Amino acid sequence: MLLLIGDFHIPDRASHVPRPIKERVESREYKLILCTGDLTGEDIL
């Protein structure tokens, strides 16, 4: 399964990932995760 994420702007424009999205992502195993960018802090990775 593939997870494609991006445009979070965390922590500059949003303080966290919304709970429904976080729960959905954490409930699955992914073979590949692609991030289009806009993660604005190293700790987000």
Q: Is the dihedral of CA 9, 13, 16, 22 positive or negative?
A: negative
Q: Residues 1-45: pLDDT tens digits?
A: 999 988 777 777 878 888 998 999 999 999 999 988 776 667 665
Q: Which helix (H) or strand (E) holds 26?
A: helix 19-26
Contact 6, 44 (CB under 8 A): no
Write down the pTM of the prediction.
0.58
- DSSP strand pairing (32-35 vs 2-5): parallel
Q: Residue 45: its pLDDT value, please?
A: 59
Q: Where do the domains of the chain lie?
A: 2-32
Q: What is the DSSP letter of 23?
A: H
